[in-house]
C-alpha cells in the first residue's frame, strides 16, 4: 500500500479538532475498505473524506506536513457528534453514517478521524487516546472496538511521571502536556493519564463497576432486534444483546424511586412477559402476579427507550387516557394510565392542570388494562350526548395493539374505570 500524503500541521489539527469529549455511545462499524491498491491516491478515497481533510487544512491556513492515511471504514454512530461530543455539548441522538479513518504522522503518531456523509461534521481522537484504548483493550481481553471513550481532558502534568510516580522512581520536574482519558470496557470504568504522544500511559485508578447493585435486568427481541438493559445505581446500562453496553443516568429521580419501590415490595423472580424477559433482585415478601411481572417489564422497556433516545416524553407509554369537562357538577379533570401501571390524576379548574394524585394500579386493575391493550384496536373518540348529558364532554383514548373492535360496552367500562380512579384520588 502506498501512503497517501495529506497536507496539514498535526499539532494544530489536534488542538483545533481533537477537543475534549464525553460520549455515551460507541460507534458501530458496518464495513471495512482498506486502501490496499499500490496506486492509491487521494482521489481514490470517498470525496467527503478527501474534502474533510482538504477543507480543514485550508480553513486553518496550515503549512505542509505529511500525514499518512492507513485506511478507512464506513461507520454508523448513534449521535450527530460521531460518538465524540465535547464536554457539555448537546448532541442529537440519531444514527449518523460516515467514515472513520486511521491516520499516522511522519513522526509515527496515530490519529482517528471521523466525518459524516455530508462532510459537515468532522471529529478526531488523538494518538494518546488511541494508545490508552489499546492498552485497556489488551488488559481487559476485549477488542478495541468494544472500548468506549467516556471523556478526554487535556492536562498539563507537573512532572514527567504524569504525577503518578512509581515506587522509588525519579521524576523530572517539567511540565508535561497530555491527557486524562476516561474509558469503559466490559462494564468497567478506568482512567488513564498520558503524555501528548501517548508514549507514557499510567492508570489513575483501579477499575470501577459502571453500574453498582444491579437490581433489574431486561431483554427483548422485536422489530429493532435484540435489546437488553440492566438497571441499578446510578442508572441504566443498555445496548444490543450482542454488542457493547452503554451507561446512562436515569433521566428523572422518579425512575430510581420506581426501581427501589419494586425491589422493596416484591420477592426476587425471573419471568417471560409480553414486554420482554426480566429478572428482579427483590428484597420484599410479595410474590409478583403475572400482571405485576409485566408491569415491571413494561417499565424496563420504557426506561431503556428513554436512555437510548436521551429524553422522555409525557405521552410515551400511555395506555389509556380520559379527559372530562363540563356537565353537572362542573368537571375538569384528566386521568392517564401508563403501560407500567402508573396513574396520574390532574385537575384543571384553575386553568393549567395540576396533579392531585400519582400512584400505581393494583394487580386486578393492571390485568383489566392489559386485556384492553392486548385485545382491542387503538381507539380515540370524543363522547357526547346520552348518557353524557348536561353538556358533559368525555375524551377517551386507548393505545392498544389488538385487533378487536371496541364496543359501546367496552367504552363504558373504560369510562367507569377511569372515573373510579379519579374519585379514589379525590377522596384521598
Per residue in 124-145, pLDDT (tens digit) is 788 888 889 888 888 888 888 7
Share of the chain above pLDDT 70, in %: 78
Which of the four pLDDT bands, split at 50, 70 and 90, describes residue 91? low
153 and 38 belong to one structural domain: no
Q: Supply the DSSP string of 153-187, one letter for each residue.
A: EEEEESSTTTT-PPTT-------EEEEEEEEEETT
Q: Say which range, 32-36, 186-190, 231-235, has the weakest mean pLDDT.
A: 32-36
Compute the average pLDDT of residues 159-185.
88
Compute the average pLDDT of residues 103-112.
71
Which of the four pLDDT bands, split at 50, 70 and 90, describes residue 222? confident
Strand partners, 236: 231, 248
- pLDDT over 50 (residue 37): no
CATH number of the domain bearing residue 142: 3.10.450
Q: Higher confidence at residue 93 or residue 227? A: 227
Q: Higher confidence at residue 343 or residue 393? A: 343
pLDDT of residue 279: 95
Domain edge (last residue) among 309, 335, 359: 309
Please answer whether residues 288 and 342 qualify as being in contact, where contact means their C-beta atoms are separated by less than 8 angstroms. Answer: no
Domain edge (last residue) among 79, 95, 125: 125
Compute the average pLDDT of residues 175-191.
83
421 and 335 belong to one structural domain: yes
46 and 91 belong to one structural domain: yes
User: Would you call 290 helix, strand, or coil by DSSP?
Assistant: helix
40 and 66 belong to one structural domain: yes
pLDDT of residue 18: 45
Q: Higher confidence at residue 353 or residue 257? A: 257
pLDDT of residue 64: 42
144 and 163 belong to one structural domain: yes
Task: State the Cα–Cα distance between residues 301 and 339, nearest whole angstrom.
Answer: 10
pLDDT of residue 338: 95
Residue 108 φ/ψ region, left for φ over 0, alpha for ψ in the -120 to 50 degree band, beta for the rest:
left
42 and 115 belong to one structural domain: yes
Please answer whether residues 312 and 249 qualify as being in contact, where contact means their C-beta atoms are separated by less than 8 angstroms. Answer: no
Q: Which domain holds residue 79?
A: 1-125
Q: Higher confidence at residue 190 or residue 97? A: 97
pLDDT digits (tens, 9 = 90+) for 308-338: 887 777 788 999 999 988 876 778 899 999 9
Domain edge (last residue) among 161, 180, 210: 210
206 and 255 belong to one structural domain: no
Which of the four pLDDT bands, split at 50, 70 and 90, describes residue 14? very low
177 and 121 belong to one structural domain: no
pLDDT digits (tens, 9 = 90+) for 53-89: 776 555 545 544 556 778 888 988 877 888 776 655 5
114 and 4 belong to one structural domain: yes
Mean pLDDT of the chain: 79
6 and 37 belong to one structural domain: yes
Task: State the Cα–Cα distance between residues 296 and 354, nearest whole angstrom.
Answer: 27
Domain count, the chain: 4
245 and 192 belong to one structural domain: no
Please enumerate in sequence order all residues whose Cβ is within 8 A of that of 386, keeping only pairs 6 or more positions apart, or say none: none
Q: Supply the DSSP string of 324-341, one letter for each residue.
A: EEETTTTEEEEEEEETT-
Task: State the Cα–Cα distance between residues 421 and 346, nearest whole angstrom.
Answer: 11
Shortest CA distance to 286 belongs to which of 295, 277, 299? Answer: 295
Please answer whether residues 289 and 363 qualify as being in contact, where contact means their C-beta atoms are separated by less than 8 angstroms. Answer: yes
Give the number of C-alpha atoms closer than 13 A to the C-alpha of residue 21, restricted to the C-beta side: 25
**Range of 171-180, 344-353, 377-386 with top mean pLDDT:** 171-180
252 and 332 belong to one structural domain: no
Q: Higher confidence at residue 98 or residue 68? A: 98
Shortest CA distance to 83 belongs to which of 300, 244, 249? Answer: 244
Which of the four pLDDT bands, split at 50, 70 and 90, describes residue 156? very high
- pLDDT over 50 (residue 13): no
Please answer whether residues 414 and 372 qualify as being in contact, where contact means their C-beta atoms are separated by less than 8 angstroms. Answer: yes
Residue 5 φ/ψ region, left for φ over 0, alpha for ψ in the -120 to 50 degree band, beta for the rest:
beta
Amino acid at each position: 500500500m502506498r501512503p497517501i500524503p495529506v497536507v496539514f500541521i498535526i499539532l494544530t489539527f489536534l488542538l483545533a479538532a481533537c477537543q475534549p469529549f464525553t460520549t455515551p455511545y460507541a460507534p458501530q462499524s458496518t464495513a471495512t475498505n482498506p486502501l490496499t491498491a499500490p496506486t492509491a491516491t487521494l482521489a481514490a478515497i470517498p470525496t467527503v473524506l478527501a474534502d474533510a481533510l482538504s477543507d480543514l487544512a485550508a480553513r486553518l491556513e496550515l503549512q505542509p506536513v505529511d500525514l499518512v492515511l492507513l485506511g478507512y471504514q464506513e461507520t454508523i454512530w448513534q449521535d450527530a457528534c460521531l460518538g465524540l461530543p465535547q464536554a457539555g455539548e448537546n448532541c442529537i441522538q440519531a444514527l449518523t453514517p460516515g467514515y472513520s479513518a486511521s491516520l499516522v504522522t511522519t513522526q509515527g503518531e496515530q490519529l482517528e478521524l471521523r466525518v459524516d456523509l455530508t462532510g459537515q461534521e468532522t471529529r478526531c481522537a488523538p494518538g494518546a487516546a488511541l494508545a490508552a484504548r489499546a492498552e485497556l483493550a489488551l488488559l481487559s481481553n476485549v477488542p478495541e472496538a468494544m472500548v468506549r471513550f467516556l471523556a478526554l481532558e487535556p492536562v498539563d502534568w507537573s512532572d514527567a511521571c504524569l504525577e503518578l510516580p512509581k515506587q522509588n522512581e525519579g521524576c523530572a520536574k517539567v511540565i508535561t502536556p497530555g491527557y486524562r482519558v476516561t474509558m469503559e470496557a466490559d462494564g468497567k470504568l478506568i482512567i488513564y493519564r498520558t503524555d501528548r504522544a501517548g508514549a507514557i500511559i499510567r492508570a489513575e485508578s483501579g477499575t470501577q463497576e459502571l453500574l453498582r447493585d444491579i437490581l433489574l435486568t431486561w431483554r427483548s427481541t422485536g422489530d429493532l432486534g435484540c435489546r437488553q438493559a440492566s438497571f441499578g445505581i446510578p442508572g441504566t446500562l443498555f445496548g444490543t444483546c450482542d454488542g457493547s453496553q452503554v451507561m446512562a443516568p436515569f433521566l428523572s429521580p422518579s425512575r430510581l424511586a420506581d426501581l427501589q419501590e419494586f425491589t422493596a415490595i416484591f420477592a426476587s423472580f425471573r419471568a417471560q412477559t409480553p414486554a420482554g424477559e426480566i429478572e428482579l433482585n427483590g428484597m420484599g415478601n410479595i410474590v409478583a402476579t403475572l400482571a405485576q411481572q409485566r408491569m415491571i417489564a413494561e417499565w424496563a422497556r420504557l426506561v431503556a427507550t428513554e436512555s437510548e433516545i436521551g429524553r422522555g416524553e409525557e405521552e410515551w407509554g400511555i395506555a389509556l387516557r380520559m379527559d372530562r369537562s363540563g356537565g353537572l357538577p362542573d368537571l375538569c379533570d384528566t386521568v392517564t394510565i401508563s403501560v407500567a401501571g402508573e396513574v396520574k390524576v390532574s385537575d384543571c379548574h384553575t386553568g393549567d392542570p395540576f396533579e392531585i394524585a400519582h400512584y400505581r394500579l393494583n394487580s386486578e386493575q393492571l390485568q383489566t388494562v392489559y386485556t384492553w391493550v392486548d385485545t382491542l384496536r387503538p381507539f380515540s373518540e370524543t363522547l357526547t350526548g346520552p348518557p353524557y348529558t348536561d353538556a358533559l364532554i368525555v375524551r377517551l383514548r386507548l393505545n392498544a395493539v389488538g385487533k378487536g373492535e371496541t364496543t359501546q360496552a367496552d367504552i363504558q367500562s373504560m369510562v367507569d374505570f377511569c372515573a373510579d380512579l379519579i374519585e379514589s384520588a379525590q377522596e384521598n
